[in-house]
Chain A
C-alpha cells in the first residue's frame, strides 16, 4: 500500500460532527444516500465556514502558502520531498490527501513553519489553513468507496505457532523455541503479513517442529506434561482397528476431526480424500499409528495449517468487498486476542453461523477478554507498540546502576505488562497509561521508586501518594531504562520515544554520515557546564536541529529520572536543567508538567493507540479508507470513557475487520497515487 500511516486529525472535526455524518452517509445503501446528503452538506458547511463564507484555495489559501511555505517547499527546493507549488486548485489537493494530511499536521502542531522562518502565520491564518485542509480531506474521503483492504494468506508467526500447536496437541508451548523458529518482524508487529515470509529455513523448521510435536504426542517422556497423554487419547478415541476397511474408517474419523481443528474450518471432501489416500499409501508399509502420525505431520506442514487463508469470494479480478465468513471471523478474533486457534465455543458458533451476529460477537469478545489467554494481546500488541520488548537489551549496565539487577529488569517489564493486563481485566481507562494514581511494584521497584510498605518479589498494586512522580508510562522503570545509555540518561531517546510511541509522529532517522558523536559526554568540549550545554550542539547544527528541537526538550523534562528511572534532584557533577521549550514556543519544566502537556495532547495519544492497534489487528498498513474506522473507534472510546473493551470492540466491529476483498488494485485513483515520502 502506498499510504503508510495516517496521522492526526483535528478533534474539532469530530466535534463539528463531520465524521458521524460521514459514517452514516457511507453506511447507508446507495439508494438511501440521497436524503442524507443535506445532513452531510450541513455538517461540512458548519465545519468549513465557521460562520463565514467558504474560503477559496486560489484566493485565500494559495497566497498564504506561498508566503509561508514556498521558500522551502517549492519546485526548486522541495525540502523533505514536499513541493506545494504543484497544487493549483482544490481538485489537486483533493487528489493527494495523504500529503495534505501531513501538511495540516505540521501546521497544526506548530512544527511548521519553523520558528526561525521569516513569515509566521497569525493564529487565525493557522486555523484557516488547518481547517480548510481537514475539510477538503473529509470531502475526499466521502468520494472513497469503502475499502476493507487486502488480507493475503498470513503465515502464523512464532508466538501464534507455539500457542496453536500446543492447543491442538497439548505438547507444550516451547516447540517454536526448541526448534529455533526465527523471530518474525524486522519492523512493526509480528502480525504484519508483509514480513511473514517462508524462506526454506523456516519451512524446514516447521517440518522439524511437526516431528518434535508428534514425537512428544506419541512418546511422552518423563518430563512431558500429562495433558499430552490426554490429547493423544482424545485423538485416538477409536479402538485400534483390525481389518483394512476398519482402519480406513477409523482414520477417516480421526483425520476429519483433526483437520477441522488444524485447518480452522470444515474440511472439504477433496481435502479429506487426499488425506485418506495418503493414509492408505502410508498404511501399506506402516502400522496404524505411524501411518496416522505421518498424515498428521502432513497436515501440520500444509499451507492450510501454517497460513491463515481467507477465501476470495468476489469474481476473479474484482475488488468488490464482501463479509468474511464465520470461520474466518473466529480465526481473526481468536488470533487477535489469544494468538491462537479458535477454541471449541468459537468453533461451534462459527459452525452454526452465529458468530457474526452482533450481540453474540460482542459477548464472545468479552468472554475472550476475560480469559487470561488475552495476555497474548498485551504481549503481542502492547509490548511491541510500547517497545517494551527491547527492555531486555536496554543499554544501562549494572556497573553504573548497581540496583539494576536482572531481577529488577524483569520486574520493570512485569510492571508494564501487569499494568496493561489489569486495564484489560478491570476494563480500565486507557488514558491511565498517560497518568494515574496507582502503580504495580514489588520490593525492588518500590525501593527504586521511593515507595514504602511493599516487600517480596511479587508485584502489588499500590495507590501512589500525591507527591509521587510515578503513575502512568512516563514514571515506569521499563520506559525510562529502555531509553537511556549505558551510564546516563538520553533526553534524545526519551523524546523520540514520546514522539514516536505516544504521539505517533516519529522523527526521521539521522541523515546518513551525520556525526552522532555529539550525543556523548565531552563532545562539546570542557566549556560545557550542564548536560544541556553538551546536547545544545544538536540545536545549533541546522541538520540536526529540526528534529532535535522536538525530541530533546521532551526528554530533558524527564531528566529527574536517572538512567534506570530512579528519582534525583541533581547529579553529582552538575545541576539538572529540566526546563523545556517546544518548537511552537510552549514552555514547561519537569516530569509533572510534561505529563500535563501530554494530557493536553491526549487526543493524539488515543489516535495513535487506535491506529497502531488497527495495524496489529489487520496485519497490514493502513489505507486512506481506514480513516472512517479509526475515527469510529476514537468516537467509541471518547463516548465510553476510554475503556479497554471499547478499544477491542471497536477493532473487532470495524469495517476492515469484518470484511475483505480480493487482492486486486482498488478502483479509487487515490490508492494508486505515488506516495510522496
Chain B
C-alpha cells in the first residue's frame, strides 16, 4: 500500500474505522465492493471514472476550434497551444449546443448555468427557487452508486446563481469550496489508499464486517431517524417533503458510514495480500502540500496566481479521490464572471472578466472590441496551461500498465460557449481514452445545434447508466470511437 506524501492532518474520527454489523444495510453488501460488474474492476483493471472540469467565460472560438475536422496535428489553435504535448490524448468536439429555454425570469447567466451540465429542455425559476433536471455528474454518480465511499464529489467555486449540479429531484447540489473541508470529507479518519484492483478481481462481495460496538455516528443516526419520523408524522403532506429530504440525506450519510467500514476492511486485506507489493509499486503521484495556510485558499477574485494555486490543490484532491476509489465521479467548477485578470490580461487596462466577456462578443462579431477579445483569449489560454498540468499528472499516475488518464472520461468545458451568454458551439474537450471507449487525437465537428445532451448521453453509456434519453438529447454522439 502506498499513501500520498501527506498524512491526514487531524486526528482520526474515533469509531469510523471499525467495522459495524448493520442488519438494515445487509442489502448494500451485494453491490458494496469494487469488483462485481464489468468495467467496475471485475476484470482486475481499474474502473472507469468521470471527471468534469468547467470554467467561466466560454471561450474565443476562432482561437479554440481547429480549422478542419480530422486528426489533430502537432499544432493546435492558440488557446489550446499549451496542450500540444498531449494532442494525441485530446478529442475536440465542435458544433455542440444547448437549445433549452429558461422560464420564470432569470438572467442569461443563470440560464446558461441551469443548462450547462443538465442539457435540460426547460430551466425554471419557481419564484426564488431554481429547478432543473438531473445533471450528467449526478446521473453518472447514480449509475456507479454503491461502489465507493462518496457517490460523487463536487468541488470549487460556483458563483452565486451559477449552479451546475442538480439532483434527480431537480434541486441544487452544493459544491465544496474549501480544500481543507474537501480533504476532511474525503480522507478524515483514514489514509488515502489505492485499492489493489488485481486482488479484488476475484471477489464478488465486500468483506464481512466484524462485530464491534456501533460507532458514535451510527447511534446518533438511529436517534435522529426516530426524531425525523416522529416529526414527519405530525406534519401536513406538503411539509413532509422537507423531512423526506432530511431523511434522504441521513440515509446518504448512513450509507457512507457503511462504505467506510467496508473499505477499511478491504484496505486491510489489501495490505496483507500477496498482491500488496505490486499494488504498492505504483505511487499516488499526487503531492499535497503540508498542513498550513495553503489549505485555507479561496478562489481569489483579485489574484490569478492564487486562483492557479487553488485550481492545482482542488484538482489534486479530485485526482487523489479518483485514484483511491473514494469516488468515481468528480466535478470541478472554477471561475466566476466577476474576477479580475491583472497580470494575465496584458492587452487592455480592463481586467474585469464580465466586462471583457461582453465587450469581446457582439452580433455581428465585427462590432466586438478586438482587444477585449484578445484579453478573453489570454484568459482561456491561461486555463489551458493549468489543464495541461492536470492531464500530465493523470498520465503519470500508473494504475498497473494503464494510466489514470486512460481510465478516466475527462471533460473540460465552460458553462457558456462564449462570454456573450453563448449557447451555441461550446468548447468541448475530452481527454484520455475512457478505458478504450474514446478515440482521441482528433477533432470531430458535429452538425449545428447538435445537443450537448447527446454527448452527456454517450458519456453516461460509458459510465454504465442505461438511459434512453438525457435532457434535450436527440440521440447519441457518433464518431467518438
Contacts and interface: CB of A to CB of B under 8 A. Distances in A.
Interface of A: 1, 4, 150, 152-153, 155, 179-180, 182, 185-188, 192, 194-195, 197-204, 207-208, 211, 270-271, 274-275, 278, 281-282, 284-285, 294-295, 297-298, 301-304, 306-307, 309, 311-312, 316, 393, 395, 397, 399-400, 485-487, 508-510, 512-513, 515-517, 519-520, 522-523, 621, 662-664, 677
A663 B246 contact: no
B184 interface: yes
9 contacts: A194-B126, A201-B173, A204-B253, A301-B220, A395-B354, A397-B352, A508-B105, A519-B358, A520-B359
Contacts of B354: 395
Contacts of A182: 174-175, 177
A297 B216 contact: yes
Given A302-B224, A517-B362, A153 B239 contact: yes
B213 A186 contact: no
B361 A192 contact: no
B107 A194 contact: no
Contacts of A271: 227, 230
B249 A522 contact: no
Nearest to B150: A200
B161 A187 contact: yes
B235 A153 contact: yes
Contact of B249 (A187, A203, A274): A203
B236 interface: yes
B374 interface: no
B249 A198 contact: yes
Contacts of B4: none
A278 B218 CA distance: 11
B250 A203 contact: yes
B224 to A, nearest CB: 5
A522 B107 CA distance: 25
B111 to A, nearest CB: 7
Contact of A270 (B230, B245, B359): B230
B466 interface: no
B342 interface: yes
B177 A180 contact: yes
B340 interface: yes
B231 A278 contact: no
Q: Which 8 A-B pairs have the closest CB atoms?
A: A203-B249, A188-B128, A663-B238, A200-B252, A187-B128, A517-B362, A663-B236, A662-B236
A194 B128 contact: yes
Contacts of A297: 216, 220
B181 A180 contact: yes
Interface stretch (B196-204, B319-327, B363-371, B438-446): B363-371
B369 A522 contact: yes
Given A180-B178, A194-B129, A304 B172 contact: no
B253 A200 contact: yes
Contacts of A512: 102, 108, 111, 421
Contacts of A312: 234-236, 239
Contact of A208 (B102, B172, B184, B227): B184
Q: Interface size class for chain B? A: 35 or more
Nearest to B235: A312
Given A207-B253, A303-B246, A199 B105 contact: no
A307 B349 CA distance: 49
B274 interface: no
B9 interface: no
Contacts of A198: 242, 245-246, 249
Given A508-B105, A512-B111, 17 more contacts: A182-B174, A186-B160, A187-B128, A199-B171, A271-B230, A274-B227, A284-B213, A297-B220, A302-B224, A304-B231, A307-B231, A397-B351, A509-B106, A510-B107, A513-B108, A513-B421, A515-B362
Given A153-B242, A153-B243, A663-B239, A194 B359 contact: no
B127 A621 contact: yes
Nearest to A511: B108
Contact of A516 (B216, B235, B342, B358): B358
Nearest to B125: A187
Contact of B223 (A185, A194, A278): A278
Contacts of B340: 397
B441 to A, nearest CB: 35
Interface centre among A207, A508, A517 (most CB of B within 10 A): A517
A298 B220 contact: yes
Contact of A278 (B111, B167, B213, B219): B219
Nearest to B165: A199
A186 B235 contact: no
B67 interface: no
B15 to A, nearest CB: 10
Contacts of A270: 230
